[in-house]
């Protein structure tokens, strides 16, 4: 697994490093989606006339890609959570023995339904410019990879919570037993880390989103490929709070 430390399994340091690396994937995903205009037909249930299916093009692409990837074992990895779990068949690939690091209660946490809604209804309008270039399949494909990256980041809270719990069970256990959500939220929050994350993501959007040219004078004069403030807003408003929400949900199940 990405966040696994070779000797000790996961550590707070290794899970934080994994989250930093996932920022790259997310920022590139933003750039790829922002390449296309809104292309609203992609999301319109009445536009796509898919045989034997009702739903939008993006739903069709995500459902079917997940079904295909499930067959080759994507969801054997506890870091991955499907958007349409109802829809999946078993993997026919021999499975890689992933270390059982999480408490079994982790499997019951999947907040992709709210991630889906947030992404389509609230976030996309901030990211893309209105318009239609007819590339609906490409648009849906870029939504799929960005959604998967966002979902992985948010559900990584399970791993963060487990390392935090193991590092100080004496602090977490009483709050878990008391089902004290607020207390847990306070204990697992590190404001300074969150601020660093937001600033770094903004900087990554600036750096990854600039035009690279061999003529030095041309650099930095072009429009960024993604608005850096949209990238940091995504983290501030949704990714960080939802990662923490997953951490609380996980901890509440930790002693079951
Ligand atoms: C992920 C962590 O837990 C919390 C959530 C953070 C995030 O989502 O980026 C950052 C700091 C913490 O408040 C962490 O401690 O690294």
pLDDT > 80? residue 91: yes
pLDDT > 70? residue 14: yes
Compute the distance between CA of residue 118 and CA of residue 175 in angstroms, rounded to an integer. 29
In angstroms, what is the C-alpha Rg of the chain? Answer: 20
Percentage above 70 pLDDT, the chain: 94
Per-chain mean pLDDT for the chain: 93
Confidence of residue 54 (pLDDT cuts 50, 70, 90): confident
pLDDT > 70? residue 1: no
Atom of ligand 1 nearest to the CA of 190: 13
Measured from CB, residues less than 6 Å from any atom of ligand 1 are 16, 160, 188-190, 193-194, 197, 240, 243-244
Percentage above 90 pLDDT, the chain: 82
Contacts of 132 (CB under 8 A, 6+ apart): 37, 38, 39, 40, 41
The pLDDT assigned to 89 comes to 86
**CA–centroid distance, residue 193 to ligand 1 (Å):** 6
The pLDDT assigned to 94 comes to 87
Question: Each residue of 168-192: pLDDT tens digit?
Answer: 999 999 999 999 999 999 999 999 9
The pLDDT assigned to 8 comes to 52
Residue 5 pairs with which residues in a beta bridge?
Answer: 9
| Interval 149-158 mean pLDDT | 98
* ipTM of predicted complex: 0.98
pLDDT > 70? residue 4: no
The pLDDT assigned to 99 comes to 83
Atom of ligand 1 nearest to the CA of 247: 3
Compute the distance between CA of residue 242 and CA of residue 167 in angstroms, rounded to an integer. 22
Compute the distance between CA of residue 119 and CA of residue 142 in angstroms, rounded to an integer. 13
pLDDT > 70? residue 219: no
Atom of ligand 1 nearest to the CA of 194: 10
| Interval 11-38 mean pLDDT | 98
């Amino acid at each position: 697994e990405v966040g696994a430390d070779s000797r000790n399994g996961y550590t707070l340091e290794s899970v934080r490093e994994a989250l930093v690396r996932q920022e790259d994937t997310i920022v590139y995903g933003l750039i790829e989606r922002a390449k296309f205009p809104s292309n609203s037909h992609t999301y319109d249930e009445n536009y796509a006339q898919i045989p034997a299916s009702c739903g939008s093009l993006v739903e069709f692409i995500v459902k079917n890609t997940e079904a295909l990837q499930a067959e080759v074992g994507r969801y054997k990895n506890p870091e991955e959570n499907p958007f349409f779990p109802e829809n999946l068949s078993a993997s026919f690939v021999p499975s890689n023995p992933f270390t059982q690091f999480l408490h079994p209660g982790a499997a019951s946490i999947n907040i992709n339904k709210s991630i889906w809604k947030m992404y389509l209804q609230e976030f996309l309008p901030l990211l893309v410019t209105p318009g239609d270039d007819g590339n609906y399949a490409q648009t849906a494909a870029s939504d799929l990879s960005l959604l998967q990256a966002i979902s992985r980041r948010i559900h990584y809270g399970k791993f963060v919570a487990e390392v935090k719990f193991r590092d100080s069970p004496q602090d977490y256990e009483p709050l878990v037993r008391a089902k004290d959500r607020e207390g847990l939220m306070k204990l697992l929050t590190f404001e300074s880390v969150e601020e660093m994350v937001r600033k770094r993501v903004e900087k990554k959007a600036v750096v990854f989103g600039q035009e690279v040219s061999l003529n030095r004078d041309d650099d930095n004069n072009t429009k960024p490929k993604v608005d850096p403030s949209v990238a940091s807003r995504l983290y501030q408003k949704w990714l960080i709070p939802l990662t923490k929400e997953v951490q609380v949900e996980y901890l509440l199940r930790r002693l079951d």
